[in-house]
Amino acid sequence: MTTGGTGNSWKTRREAMGKTLDQAAADLRISRRYLEGIEGGDFRGWPERVFSSGFIRAYGKYLSMEPGPVLTEYERSVEERAESDTAAQLRPEWVERERERGTRRTAYTLAAGVVLLIGLVLAWVSLRSASRPPPPLAVLPGPTVVASQENATKPPDNVATTAAGSDNATAPPAGPAISSLPPSPAPTVAAVGGSGPPTGPYQLFLEASEQTWLTYSFDEGDPIDVTLYPGDKISIQARGRIVLKLGNAGGVVGTLNGRRLPPFGERGEVRRYTLGQ
């Protein structure tokens, strides 16, 4: 990856304006690392092209610089990464097959060794048991007791004589019944502006709970691309119109004119909203 390149002139222009990277990032609401990547020609880890090219155009407009050369450098870096990834994936198939065969052969060898060891242990135990002589029977002298027919057939007094009695003695006590309660309904958010749509002027406040790509414009201005990270906040003020495009609608919550907005959408969902005429 090249260092500097076309972005050096942008860095020189920013310094001539007396702006630091942090000041430019705050003015554009774009992360400092993207502005630093533009100036250094390092586009690794950038989001999708639509958002990345938007960062470059917004920064070029901010510096009054032509974005074409930097966009060309960015596209070249994307193509180089794609070619590198493709080359890494085109590994010869026979290499993969041989590696899989080697793994299977190793597993089969280990399994056969374990089975053979178990067989040897069992054979050794069997041979020792067969060669050991049985112990002699001991005969002890004593009186011979003959049970009468009555005592032999009469069950003891402390033994239950019915199956029902045995069942009752061993049946566990029934536990208390547990009733499942239905889940409480999720809270709902009242619509902004009561029963009708909100009217300008607008002050929209957005807060990100997850990483979200955002494109917005207001009062017929040019679109601005921003990446919000968890905890980032942004305020947009307009006289009559705000247009939003969210790359992760479930990762942002909004407040319009002091009132909480309903959810924009689900996680990972791309949604577009327009406030005003």
pLDDT over 50 at 179, yes or no: no
pLDDT over 80 at 89, yes or no: no
Q: Answer with the one of 89, 119, 138 that is the final residue of a domain.
A: 89
Domain that holds residue 82: 7-89
Q: How many domains does the chain have?
A: 2
Of 271 and 131, the structure prediction assigns the larger pLDDT to 271
Residue 117 lies in a domain: no
Residue 183 lies in a domain: no
- The string of pLDDT tens digits covering residues 33-50 is 899 889 888 888 888 777
Strand partners, 252: 208
What percentage of the chain exceeds 70 in pLDDT? 69
Residue 273: the pLDDT is: 83
Residue 260 lies in a domain: yes
* Rounded (5°) CA angle 43-5-66: 85
pLDDT over 90 at 105, yes or no: no
Q: Prior bond to 201 cis, omega within 30?
A: yes
Given a contact cutoff of 8 angstroms between Cβ atoms, the answer to whether 58 and 25 are in contact is: no
Residue 76: the pLDDT is: 87
Given a contact cutoff of 8 angstroms between Cβ atoms, the answer to whether 214 and 253 are in contact is: no
Residue 232: the pLDDT is: 94
Residue 223 lies in a domain: yes
Q: Which residue has the tokens 């307009």?
A: 238
Q: What is the dihedral of CA 30, 40, 64, 77, to 10 degrees?
A: -90
Global pTM value: 0.33
Question: End-to-end alpha-carbon separation of the chain, Å?
Answer: 45
Residue 121 lies in a domain: no
Q: Answer with the one of 25, 58, 89 that is the final residue of a domain.
A: 89
Q: Answer with the one of 30, 62, 89 that is the final residue of a domain.
A: 89
User: Exposed, middle or buried by CB within 10 Å (0-12, 13-18, 19+), for 268?
Assistant: exposed
